[in-house]
Amino acid sequence: MTTELKQQTVVVSTIDEMRKISESFRGQTLGLVPTMGYLHEGHLSLVKQSLEKCDHTVVSIFVNPRQFGPKEDLDIYPQDLSGDLEKLESLSVDVVFNPDRQTIYPEGFKTHVQVDEITRNLCGKSRPQFFKGVATVVLKLFNIVRPQYAFFGEKDWQQLAVIETMTRDLNMDVEIHRVPLMREPDGLAMSSRNSNLSPEERKQALSLSRSLKDSKEKIQQGIISSKELRQNIRNIISAEPGTQIDYISICDPVSLEEKEIIKGRTLIALAVKIGPARLIDNCIIED
């Protein structure tokens, strides 16, 4: 009889400890999965890809205050460190990096990363601080953990575009891997923020994925006007009381420039406020 030995997951919170461990992996491949915790299957699909591709995997859990605006949901962002650790241990993740705010942003912190142009539209418009906060913390995590590979979900399409642009523009030695968006069986895009929805709000939230599915069907039927498709999405989502549309974007998946007609590969991306949560979802229309 063979017993499978599960590798122990190490939890570290200081930069020194993290660096020492990364140093000990030298000569082997290291993958990083940055998260804000409250892990679900969407996060775990990134972790599984890293485990498959790399000799070692670090998952960071850090709710980054600098990517939240003053009126956003930082204070109610869901957290469950022990639940997260259980999930990561069961996958035999090597290291969980869980620094506190002071470790990442000590007194006197002054430097930020700003990626231009692609941060102007979509989430960048209504969350002007967001991508500056994201790019800065991801660059810091890369510098602390020194991975060769990093894994990000296509759920946050614009975030991925920002990270890819930053790593290219700043000649960073990290290969970014895209992981497809994971949905609940009923179509809702998995998100830590779903846990802040009431049962009624969760039902209303299904209008996002429903409107994307409906758009795909309309496009298959030959409708190519973005204006018409946008209006159709608006109708589906607004039919649910309590939804507040932030944006509906029909754009080029790389430049994120709006398109008037569906021609070539196209991204349809949405952000909608429902109760305490601002939810995002997207789909790609292939060429």
Enumerate the active-site residues. Answer: 43
Q: From residue 272, how far is each of 188, 224, 242 by CA, in Å?
A: 13, 23, 10
Q: Which of 133, 153, 253, 275 binds ligand AMP (CB under 6 A)?
A: 153
CB–CB of 250/218 below 8 Å?
no
Closest separation in Å from C-beta 2 to ligand AMP: 34
Work out whether 96 is an interface residue with ligand AMP (CB under 6 A): no
Q: Which of 49, 60, 119, 192 binds ligand AMP (CB under 6 A)?
A: 192
- Sign, CA dihedral 69-72-76-82, equals negative
Work out whether 43 is an interface residue with ligand AMP (CB under 6 A): yes
Q: From residue 60, how far is each of 125, 191, 200 by CA, in Å?
A: 27, 17, 32
Work out whether 179 is an interface residue with ligand AMP (CB under 6 A): yes
Q: For residues 134 and 229, which CB has a smaller minimum distance to ligand AMP in the complex?
A: 134
Closest separation in Å from C-beta 37 to ligand AMP: 6
Work out whether 136 is an interface residue with ligand AMP (CB under 6 A): no
For β-strands 149-153 and 175-179, DSSP reports them as parallel
Render 162-185 in DSSP notation, one character per residue.
HHHHHHHHTT-S-EEEEEPPPB-T
Work out whether 182 is an interface residue with ligand AMP (CB under 6 A): yes
Closest separation in Å from C-beta 224 to ligand AMP: 28
Number of residue whose CB is nearest ligand AMP: 153
Number of residues that bind ligand AMP (CB under 6 A): 17
Closest separation in Å from C-beta 278 to ligand AMP: 12
- Number of Cβ within 10 Å of residue 128's Cβ equals 12
CA–CA distance, 161 with 22 (Å, rounded to integer): 26
Work out whether 42 is an interface residue with ligand AMP (CB under 6 A): yes
Closest separation in Å from C-beta 235 to ligand AMP: 25
The single-letter DSSP state of residue 7 is P
Q: From residue 4, how far is each of 1, 55, 92, 230 by CA, in Å?
A: 10, 18, 11, 52
Listed ranges 47-55, 152-160, 210-218, 269-277: which one lies at the site for ligand AMP (CB under 6 A): 152-160
Instruction: Give the x/- contact pattern for ligand AMP in 105-134, rule: CB under 6 A.
Output: ------------------------------
Work out whether 46 is an interface residue with ligand AMP (CB under 6 A): yes
Q: For residues 98 and 191, which CB has a smaller minimum distance to ligand AMP in the complex?
A: 191
Report the Cα 79 to chain-centroid distance in Å: 16
CA–CA distance, 127 with 2 (Å, rounded to integer): 53
Work out whether 35 is an interface residue with ligand AMP (CB under 6 A): yes
Work out whether 88 is an interface residue with ligand AMP (CB under 6 A): no
CA–CA distance, 33 with 99 (Å, rounded to integer): 14
Task: By CB under 6 A, name the binding residues for ligand AMP.
Answer: 35-36, 42-43, 45-46, 152-153, 155-156, 179, 181-182, 189-192
